[in-house]
Structures are given as C-alpha cells and as structure tokens.
Chain A
C-alpha cells in the first residue's frame, strides 16, 4: 500500500471521529480542531527544516560513510553511536522517523537505528537543564542515563526480533 492511500484511510478515520465529535459536542470539537491546527503550525518550520535535512543526507552523505559509522562492521560502536546521536539531537519524534528511515536505507545496522529512535524520543540532553529545574538534577541525570541504557538494550532486542 502506498503512503498516500494509508494517509487517506487514516484521515478518513480521524474525520469520522470528528464527525461524531461535532454531533456530540461541537464546542469541544472546534477546540480540538484549533488545538491540532495550532500544534501543526508551530511545528511547521521545524518539519520543513527536517525534510530539507533528509534531502541533504540523501545527496551528500555517502552511504559508505553511514555503513562504516553505523553499520554492522563494529556492532558495539554502532549501537552506542546510534544511542548517543539520538540523545543529542533536537526535534520532536516525528522528525526522527524520516532520518532513521534514510539511515536504514543507507545500510545502518537495524539495532543501531532502533537505539537512535528510542533515545531521540526519550533522552533529552538539550532539555536536561529544563528537566532538572522541574524535577531536580538527581532525577534528571538518573532518568536520562537509565533511558539511554534502556534505549541501547531495546535497540538490541528490537534488532534481534526483526
């Protein structure tokens, strides 16, 4: 199935839910629509940047390099690098999928890509000061360190299960 078909099916299902929601509580449905639109608009510049970045990856990053750095050659290093790259990167999870997809297509080792995604989504080096401010440094450091370890572990498990 191609992506546009999947998108249309998904859109149809969401539209149905909205239809039901509008009949049920129009005020709430309108708020929902507004919230969604606002979130999307606030993320749009970032999304444009991400897809521009994926384009650059495709043209300028030689697959050979990715295979060397994240490939099967040195598994331990690939896994660790995948996890660390994910940890330092910025952007919402949505941004990590196309990047991870292009890494995978260029010959990266699947567990390393899985670790990359896992740590992108849940480890936040950039937001660490913010997390510490809210929860305390101790919690923020422990949580991020353990999450990175969990990301590497799940990367291995995921790679083994695929």
Chain B
C-alpha cells in the first residue's frame, strides 16, 4: 500500500513540474522576452499570495492534530440513518488531507460498517475545503467561494444516495 501511495505522490508532483519546464523551454524558443514576463508575473502573484498560504498551512497543521481521524471514523462507523448522513457531510467538510490519506481512511470506515452513501457523501463534502476559502475568494471573488461552498454541502447527500443506488445490494 505505501508503495502505491508514494508512487502517486511522486507522479502528481513531478508530472506537472516537468510539463511546466517543457512549456518554458518551448516559450523561450518562441519569445525570450515574453518568457521572462511570464516568470515575473508568476513570481509577483506568488509573492502576493504567500502570506495567506503561510496562514492556511499553519491552520491545516492545527486541524490535523485537533480533529483526529479516529474520531471521524467512530462517528461514521455506526449504522445510522439521516443523522449519519448529516454527520458524514460535517465530517467531510472538516476533513483535511490529500486523497492518498483520505481514501484508505474512508475504506477503513466502510469496513467498520458504514454505508456506501456515507463514503460518497464524505468525499463530496470533502471538496468544500473551508481552509482554502480566503485563497479561493481572493482569486474568484467572495460570492463565488461562498456559493460554491453552499452548493457542495447541499448536493452532498443527494449525490451520496445516488452513488449508493448504483452500488450492489448489501444484505
């Protein structure tokens, strides 16, 4: 398992960096001046956003230690009705971490007896990313970020039930 995790982590990171380097080589051959302008623009943007990035990652560290994965697991592990689905939305919304951590975690919850709908709902609500809200608002506007968040939460339960409907019957 850990070998797969490492593989995907490496793949995700290096592929994009590699593509960007190739694009820059191409860009340089087309127009060195424009290439330098691109670099400058990117660097300025990065510099202006760096304070928020710093704050966001400090927050991510806090969430990581304050909200234990075991707690979330125990909340979703029990057989629960509508309440379980609502808890799933809440857990997904506050869950922080990359997919190679979240997927195995959710599968362990599933093995503890959680419904497929719960797994799908957590994954849907997980795309809320509240910790990124200030960055999202900066680039796309406050209304955009807020409305997107509301839609994620509203659609999570119907979505989860739809996924479960397509899964084989469990009895």
Contact = CB atoms under 8 A, between A and B. Distances in A.
A31 to B, nearest CB: 5
B120 A36 contact: no
A83 to B, nearest CB: 14
A37 B138 contact: no
Given A60-B27, A139-B167, A142-B163, A52 B138 contact: no
B42 to A, nearest CB: 3
A97 B140 CA distance: 7
B71 interface: no
A32 B64 contact: yes
Nearest to A27: B65
B60 A35 contact: yes
B55 A14 contact: yes
B52 A51 contact: no
Given A56-B27, A97-B136, A117-B148, A150 B61 contact: no
Contact of A58 (B41, B65, B106, B135): B41
B42 A53 contact: yes
Interface string B61-102: 110111000000000000000000000000000000011100
A97 B135 contact: yes
Contacts of B17: 45-46, 48-49
Contacts of B151: 154, 157-158
A103 B22 CA distance: 21
Specify which of A21, A55, A104, A150 lies most central, judged by the most chain B CB atoms within 10 Å of its CB.
Answer: A55
Given A10-B52, A51-B45, A122 B39 contact: no
Nearest to A33: B61
Interface of B: 4, 8, 11-13, 15-17, 20, 23-24, 27, 30, 34-35, 37-43, 45-46, 48-62, 64-66, 98-100, 103-104, 106-107, 110, 116, 119-120, 123-124, 126-127, 129, 132, 134-136, 138-140, 143-144, 147-148, 151-152, 155, 159, 162-163, 166-168
28 contacts: A6-B52, A6-B134, A7-B50, A10-B52, A15-B58, A28-B66, A32-B61, A32-B65, A33-B58, A36-B57, A39-B57, A40-B53, A40-B54, A52-B42, A56-B42, A59-B27, A60-B34, A94-B56, A94-B135, A98-B49, A100-B139, A113-B140, A124-B99, A130-B99, A138-B167, A139-B120, A139-B163, A150-B124
